[in-house]
Copies of this chain bind each other. A is one copy, B any other.
Amino acid sequence: MDNQKIPKPTIKRLAVYYRCLENILFSGKASVSSKEIADELGIKASQVRKDLSYFGEFGRRGVGYSTQQLLESVSDILGMRKIWNVCIVGMGNLGMALAVYPGLSKSGFFIKALFDNNPNKIGIPIPNDLSIEPISILKSVVKERAINMGVITVPAEAAQETADALVDAGVQGIVNFAPVRLNLPDSVKVEEIDISVSFRSLAFSISLHSGRRRE
């Protein structure tokens, strides 16, 4: 039950279980069953159990899981004990929104630097006593502040060079909001978030189920 390959969908769901367990813990429930988690998320209980089983045995048969302990185990699995220091490159509206998004620091992702190339933006103050710095000093800042994750919110044209700069500076992972596929070494992990793609998939689902032929 150890040395197996973890399905990618399992990873995404674990990140969702974390959120769900936080809520359950907050609501005061000390123990929880796979069925309760599953119902909350609209999936099957066996799915929850199978996902967890890739990493160990966390529950007690006949009883369920300790909410607290399971949350800790999931934190561990997700690598959330580690300190994640994050920088954001590209301080347009989206970059700015992320810089002050409370959900990130609440989840243990600390924004340590903001970069932009526009000279007018350099130095303008941001709510969290951060300031915007020029991309030219990215490498030294990343090293100095032990930044291990980068966020790309620059325009599509600049995304690859930004990614190259982040890799060169030594980040281990990149969250990419720019609508292009990045070319990266295997050692650097990437997570893509393309907002327009989500809108288009939604448009498709609506069209399929209300216009067009029978599914």
Distance in Å: Cβ of A66 to nearest Cβ of chain B: 21
Task: For A79, list chain B residues within 8 Å (CB).
Answer: 203-204, 206-208, 211
Distance in Å: Cβ of A187 to nearest Cβ of chain B: 8
Task: For A213, list chain B residues within 8 Å (CB).
Answer: 2-3
**CB distance A197 to B78 under 8 Å?**
no
Asked if A173 is at the interface of the complex by the 8 Å CB criterion, the answer is: yes
Asked if A196 is at the interface of the complex by the 8 Å CB criterion, the answer is: yes
* Copies of chain A in the complex: 2
Distance in Å: Cβ of A84 to nearest Cβ of chain B: 6
**CB distance B198 to A107 under 8 Å?**
no
A205–B8 Cα distance when bound, in Å, is 10
A11–B215 Cα distance when bound, in Å, is 13
Asked if A134 is at the interface of the complex by the 8 Å CB criterion, the answer is: no
Asked if A47 is at the interface of the complex by the 8 Å CB criterion, the answer is: no
**CB distance A205 to B11 under 8 Å?**
yes
Distance in Å: Cβ of A27 to nearest Cβ of chain B: 12
**CB distance B82 to A199 under 8 Å?**
no
A79-B204, A207-B82 given as contacts; is B96 within 8 A of A196 (CB)?
A: no
Task: For A11, list chain B residues within 8 Å (CB).
Answer: 201, 204-205
A76 nearest CB neighbor, chain B only:
B207
